[in-house]
Amino acid sequence: MDAATVLIQAMNGIQYGLLLFLVASGLTLIFGIMGVINIAHGSFYMIGAYLAWSLMGWVGSFWIGLIVGVTVALLLGLVLEWLFIRFLYDRDHLQQVLVTYGLILIFSELRSMIWGDDVHSVPIPELLNGSIQLTENLAYPIYRLWLSGVCIVIAILMFLGIQHTRLGMMIRAGESDREMTKSLGINIGLVYRFIFALGVSLAAFSGMISAPISSVFPGMGSQVLIVSFVVVVIGGLGSIKGAMIAALLVGLIDTFGKVIHLDIFGVNIFPEMSGMSIFALMALILMLRPQGLFGRER
Amino acid sequence: MMLILLPVFGERFYIQFASKILIMIIFVSSLNLLVGFTGLVSLGHAAFFGSSGYVIALLSPIGTSMNLFVALLSSVLCVGALGAVFGALVLRTKGIFFIMSTLALGEMLFYFLHDTAFAGGSDGIYIHDRPGFNLFGWWQLDLSNVSHFYYLALILVCLVLMLIKRIMNSPFGRVISGIRVNEHRTKALGYHTYKFKLVCFVIASMIAAISGFLAAVQFGVVNPEMVGWHASGHALMMVILGGKGSILGPVLGTTTLMLVEEIFQVATKHWQLLTGIVVVLVALFFPNGLAGLNFPKKRPET
């Protein structure tokens, strides 16, 4: 591989990592603050991508579709929290897993009823269609750069929001002591509902902006869910910083695993087994540091 | 009694369906050993179910059939070794982390079997000659015969349920229950809880291997779907539907869910929607499952 290929693959890896961060941060927020494991998180990503596809068809503009889609996801999050999730705060993990697993089945079947089981593609919005010339014969698509930029902006906003706003203060208070926060007159139920809806819309938003660079297909939800779990396990549960670093690591390893060619003892390790590389990394982290890179000792 | 006579009167389809239920009962029981008795919620248990099928599919010679006992034993031992490796890794974590890492390791196995050539990729592998057993030349067990297969599954279910009962009544089982209720306290009593959990994890993976072996032999084919996490999730639904932490819970949960799903499948194309709704409702309103249902008794009139 020459330097230019490495550079392009590195940029792809970082971009994939940033996208993973958006999905995984929603997961880790919902767990870190509310103590709920939400395995339906991937479904919201999938719903986002399908929304992007069908809204493009209806309104014809990617941008209006994006706004409408995020609004829909936010409302969906609020309704789901009110219907199901709020009953799960005091329950054990097994029931949380089962309720959200049931939601996966429901959403995947609804998706099949509404949108069918076909694979679709979403065109890149015209404004960002094109590429930047890096060297004479290598170019990088603008859309991918824009996507990375958006992810970075959201990450910064999230960090500032949690550390420096009144709402962020309530969230952090609710995280450390739910009962105490309640008795100080803060409607913690409402804060939780907002957090859950935020997580849902983050996942859906990631699905929507990733739709133009990858195809829209039924299994995309569980695929992203599993990779996000790997990210969260590596980064440490409830840690936004850990999620960021782990997501970048996973993005880079996964991307490079697909382009490297490596045979050991005649067995083709890469790229044939590249699907396993991130799991191998996770196993290594589990051996060396079971609480994750930035997880608290518990 | 009805269970024993079923192959005599039942039609081929029903015998096969009953065998499927029996296989699932073994698998769900092994998961219940982890979830219900030890308090370890695993979302990757299908890894052991599926890999057992792969072991037997890869070992089966073409042209001759393997001895049933050799085949079963080699499956169980290989999967037990895999269980020890996976268990040693995932048991370093707790709670929600445990759920996530079991799921991730299970998926790793899925991608491994799905992407490599020797495991047949997404199509899986066919078992051409099923293992059999010849009793001194005057009786031949033929697993392609649905009745023979049914009886083998029935015997194995009984053995597995007895084994689990035996385990839970042993001193080992007491420690396991102690870990579920309060791990710190059990540790304080001087038990090395990690070792106990690991042994339990390996036993559960070996029991799952028995069911995976049967499932592979029943239709003579294995594919990566057997390892995938939806298979694990499906079994978890049956555990909680039946009522976790009881010996007969998995029997009840598996039979009920499989019958209900069969009815849904006949009724509508979108049966998964109905299954999803049932799961959500059961998990929200009947967390103790069917075995934990207390039917209100009629009050004596005064």
pLDDT tens-digit readout, B22-64: 999 999 999 999 998 998 999 999 999 999 999 998 888 777 7
Of the pLDDT bands very low, low, confident and very high (cuts 50, 70, 90), residue B174 is very high
Residue B299 covered by a domain: no
pLDDT at B296 > cutoff 60: no
- Range A156-162 contact pairs with CB under 8 angstroms and sequence separation of 24 or more: A158/A25, A158/A240, A159/A240, A162/A240
pLDDT at B212 > cutoff 90: yes
Q: Does an H or E element contain A163, and which?
A: helix A142-164
Q: How many CB atoms lie within 10 A of CB A170?
A: 18
A234 in contact with B, Cβ within 8 Å = no
Chain B residue numbers touching A230 (CB-CB < 8 A): 104
B240 in contact with A, Cβ within 8 Å = yes
Give the pLDDT confidence of A16-42 residue by residue, as tens digits. 999 999 999 888 888 888 888 899 999
**DSSP letter (8 states) at residue B301:** P
Give the pLDDT confidence of A46-75 residue by residue, as tens digits. 999 999 999 888 887 888 889 999 999 999
Higher pLDDT, B164 or B293: B164
ipTM rounded to 2 decimals: 0.84
- A232–B276: do the CB atoms touch at under 8 Å? no
φ and ψ at residue B287, rounded to 5 degrees = -60, -15
- Of all residues in chain B, the percent with pLDDT exceeding 70 is 92
Test mutation, B100, B194, B261, chain A, max A CBs within 10 A? B100
Note the helical H segments in A60-141. Answer: 62-83, 93-115
Residue B19 covered by a domain: yes
Sign of CA dihedral B137, B141, B144, B145: positive
A99 in contact with B, Cβ within 8 Å = yes
A272 in contact with B, Cβ within 8 Å = yes
- A95–B284: do the CB atoms touch at under 8 Å? yes
Higher pLDDT, A261 or A212: A212
- What is the domain count for chain B? 1
Q: In terms of Cα–Cα distance, which of B280, B257, B290 is closest to B24?
A: B257
b/e A24-34 (16+ beta carbons within 10 angstroms → b)? bbbbbbbbbbb
- The CATH number linked to B243 is 1.10.3470
State the pLDDT at residue A251: 93
Least confident of A164-168, B23-27, B297-301: B297-301
Average pLDDT, integer, range B195-218: 94
State the pLDDT at residue A76: 95
Chain B residue numbers touching A286 (CB-CB < 8 A): 89-90, 92-93, 101
In angstroms, the CA A27 to CA A40 distance is 10
Chain B residue numbers touching A258 (CB-CB < 8 A): none
- A99–B107: do the CB atoms touch at under 8 Å? no
Nearest CA in chain B to A88: B284
pLDDT at B294 > cutoff 60: no
B198 in contact with A, Cβ within 8 Å = no
Strands (E), chain A: 131-135, 138-141, 262-264, 267-270
pLDDT at A241 > cutoff 90: no
The boundaries of the domain holding residue B21 are 2-7+15-291
pLDDT at B298 > cutoff 60: no
- B236–A94: do the CB atoms touch at under 8 Å? yes
- Ranked by mean pLDDT, which of A135-144, B20-29, B127-136 comes out on top? B20-29
Residue B205 covered by a domain: yes
Residue A230 has its nearest CB partner, among B41, B104, B114, at: B104
CB A36 within 8 Å of CB A88: yes
pLDDT at B299 > cutoff 60: no
Chain B residue numbers touching A99 (CB-CB < 8 A): 279-280, 283-284
A108 in contact with B, Cβ within 8 Å = yes
Chain A residue numbers touching B244 (CB-CB < 8 A): 94
Residue B298 covered by a domain: no
Nearest CA in chain A to B237: A98
A224 in contact with B, Cβ within 8 Å = no
Of the pLDDT bands very low, low, confident and very high (cuts 50, 70, 90), residue B258 is very high
A230 in contact with B, Cβ within 8 Å = yes
- B108–A104: do the CB atoms touch at under 8 Å? no
- A/B interface, count of CB pairs below 8 Å: 131
Distance (Å) from the alpha carbon of A164 to chain B's nearest alpha carbon: 29
- B96–A31: do the CB atoms touch at under 8 Å? yes
Average pLDDT, integer, range A142-163: 90
Residue at token pair 């550079």: A7
Average pLDDT, integer, range B276-296: 78
Residue B297 covered by a domain: no
- Whether a cis peptide bond, with omega within 30° of 0, leads into A271 is yes
- A105–B90: do the CB atoms touch at under 8 Å? no
In angstroms, the CA A243 to CA A241 distance is 5
pLDDT at B20 > cutoff 70: yes
For residue B118, give both structure tokens. 């020797």
Residue B55 covered by a domain: yes
